[in-house]
Amino acid sequence: MTTRIFDGRRRVDAIAADGRGVAYGDGLFETMRVHRGTVPWWDAHWARLQHGAQRLHLRLPEPRQVREEAADLFANDDSANDRGGVLKLIVTRGGGGRGYAPPAAAEPSWLLSRYPVPVAVADGLRARWCETRLASQPLLAGIKHCNRLEQVLARAECIEAGVDEGLMRDLDGNVVSATSANLFVFRDGRWLTPLLDRCGVAGVCRAQLLPALQAREARLDTAALEAADAVFLCNAVRGILPLARLGARAWPAHPAIAAARVALARRHPAFALDVEHP
């Protein structure tokens, strides 16, 4: 991992001791797939970041500087023959002393980090239903804010159970997402994906696939998902990840998922490898 830290426009050596991101999770983040030194979905990620900043009344750094620093971070990227890299951007409200009240004119703090692409799962994911539930908070629904304790607890469940991923529900039992991915369900010849108006993250990859698959947003319960003909998870780093097993329920490879991967590859060149080597 390589990381650069900034206070406003100025590069610094460390996060400030009074940083609100550390103290309260008062910030946002984006995790992006890099392909041959570029971020093909940059505009979509920045638009979601702006939307989140409006919700939180949080200042963003100057977009041109962020993009130039990101490009420089991958300037020596030699990914023409591999799966590229991952760029993570964290933006917080900056320093503000003790107490919840946000400072009136804080300079944003932000970090850029470079990571390798996660290892692909060859035969589909094994998942479980998580006991940890997602609380409803419409003001935060959809945005990628820095408070992810629910996902941390759910991910710990997955590690303990020895599975690849966990599916999460809200307090009413509605299916929302996986711990780090959105999900799509294929039933009766069409794709469905959960509504995210109460909780959950509206993923950039999900936004690309909604029109591509002519998918419909809907409330889904556990029975609806387990009765599906096919299920996949998706995010902007790993693309489409077929679900192979959920408890006792198993799904074989399905042509609708293969078609979805082709549709995604048309929108992001890094995911063409998933079509060539599923």
Query: Domain with 7 in it: what CATH number?
Result: 3.30.470.10
Predicted TM-score of the model (pTM): 0.94
The last residue of one of the domains, among 116, 148, 173, is 116
Q: Are residues 158 and 175 in the same domain?
A: yes
3-state secondary structure of 207: helix
Number of domain units in the chain: 2
Predicted pLDDT of residue 121: 79
The last residue of one of the domains, among 116, 151, 179, is 116
Predicted pLDDT of residue 99: 87
Segment 217-238 shows an average pLDDT of 97
- What's the CATH code of the domain at 178? 3.20.10.10
User: Which positions ≥6 away from 76 have C-beta within 8 Å?
Assistant: none
Lowest mean pLDDT among 14-18, 26-30, 253-257: 14-18
Backbone angles phi, psi at 158, to 5 degrees: -65, -45
What integer best gives the mean pLDDT of the chain? 94
In the predicted structure, residue 233 carries a pLDDT above the cut 70: yes
Q: At how many degrees (to 10) do helices 42-56 and 204-212 cross?
A: 120
Q: Are residues 186 and 68 in the same domain?
A: no
The answer for 35, left when phi > 0, alpha when psi is -120 to 50, beta otherwise, is: beta
Domain that holds residue 245: 125-276
Predicted pLDDT of residue 212: 98
Q: Are residues 111 and 137 in the same domain?
A: no
